[in-house]
Amino acid sequence: MNSIDQISIHFNPNQLHILNICLGFLLFGVALEIKPDDFKKIILFPKAILVGLTTQLILFPILTILFILLINPPTSIALGMVLVAACPSGNVSNFAVKIANGNTALSVTLTSILSLIAIVTTPLSFSIYSKMVPNSEILRKSIYVEPIDMVFTIIQIILIPLCIGMLFNWKFPKTTMRFLKTIKILSLLLFLSFIVLGVFKNLDIVQNHLGSVFFIVLVHNFIGLFGGYQFARWVGLDFKTAKTLCLEAGIHNTGLGLVLIFNFFNGIGGMALIAAWWGIWDMIAAFSLAQFWEKRDQTIVQTQ
């Protein structure tokens, strides 16, 4: 067993409780922008929704397993990659899609659907694909989690905050608009601050092992972005839609991944480092790509 498989990044029970509340508050802020009408938009672009769901739930996890088989990383890193692939797209993708002049309505709709069905898809996907990780039997036995336990946690930190946020937006639209920006910024800062504090307390582990996951995350994220774009183009979707599905596939809610890792997987080193670095890098890569597309579109307009 690799040394990174034997280390843990620890949060005590009180810290875990606060972490769960922080992520729940973050999802509450996200839900303040979701309206019931967003789900009606499925009928506007059913093919794009189907392709996006297929990419997230089937294509990317399969590509993740193939990448794992190719590079044969330490087991805990491989399991972290599988968990990231099982997490839904993050709300940051909506901002990136807007910058890239993609289909923002499609992005919001797809993110909303994926977040809601994550109650089932995240534990199910991890349960299925983690068994395909080579030599993972011993480690999986030591960290075995009943999928139903994971379901209840996801209900608490995703479904309930999303429903409360959507209900609040529906009942008090004017109040929501007044405080929306403040709540979103505050929730994101609280969550990131807590994660940074946790990393700082385990700085020696991060310094010693970040190199083990640095380039793996870069390539893994590229696979998500490239796979999302190429699959959309292959099935005949237009460039604007392909940009949207590319960014949706490249950004994942690794905050959920970290919460699950600390709640159920004993903060195992490789999994935690993969999820933490993914959460940073996918935003860097996605926003860089979005800005490239924005400037490209501006150049095209100027030359016409």
Q: For 201-220, what is each residue's pLDDT tens digit?
A: 666 666 677 778 899 999 99
**Is the distance from CB of 222 to CB of 285 less than 8 angstroms?**
yes
What is the CA 284 to chain-centroid distance, rounded?
A: 14
Phi-psi region of 9 (alpha: psi -120 to 50; beta: other; left: phi over 0): beta
Mean predicted lDDT score pLDDT of the chain: 82
Instruction: Give me the mean pLDDT over the 221-225 stretch.
Output: 96
Write out pLDDT tens, residues 119-173. 889 989 998 998 899 877 766 665 656 677 778 878 887 788 878 888 888 888 8
Q: Which fold has domain 7-202+209-303?
A: Na+/H+ antiporter like fold (1.20.1530)
6 secondary structure, DSSP code? G
Exposed e or buried b per residue across 164-175, where buried means at least 16 C-beta atoms within 10 angstroms of its C-beta: ebbebbeeeeee
Write out pLDDT tens, residues 38-79. 666 677 788 999 999 999 999 999 999 999 999 999 888 999
pTM of the model: 0.84
56 secondary structure, DSSP code? I
> Could you tell me the CA-to-CA distances from 258 to 30, 78, 124, 172, 246 in Å, in that order?
18, 15, 17, 32, 23
β-sheet bridge partners, residue 89: 252
Task: Measure the CA angle with vertex 43, ends 232 and 33; round to 5°.
Answer: 90
> How high is the pLDDT of residue 29?
75
What is the rounded distance in angstroms from the CA atom of residue 63 to the CA atom of residue 57?
Answer: 11
Closest CA to 111 of 95, 128, 124, 125: 95
90 secondary structure, DSSP code? P
55 secondary structure, DSSP code? I
Identify the helix (H) or strand (E) that includes residue 224: helix 203-234
Give me the phi and psi of 268, to 5 degrees please. -55, 135
Exposed e or buried b per residue across 211-248, where buried means at least 16 C-beta atoms within 10 angstroms of its C-beta: ebbeebbeebbebbbebbbebbeeeebeebbbbbbbbb
Write out pLDDT tens, residues 76-120. 899 999 999 999 987 778 788 888 988 888 888 888 888 888 888
- Radius of gyration of the chain from its Cα atoms, rounded to whole angstroms: 19
Burial class of 288 by CB neighbour count within 10 A (0 to 12, 13 to 18, 19+): exposed
Sequence ranges of the domains in the chain: 7-202+209-303
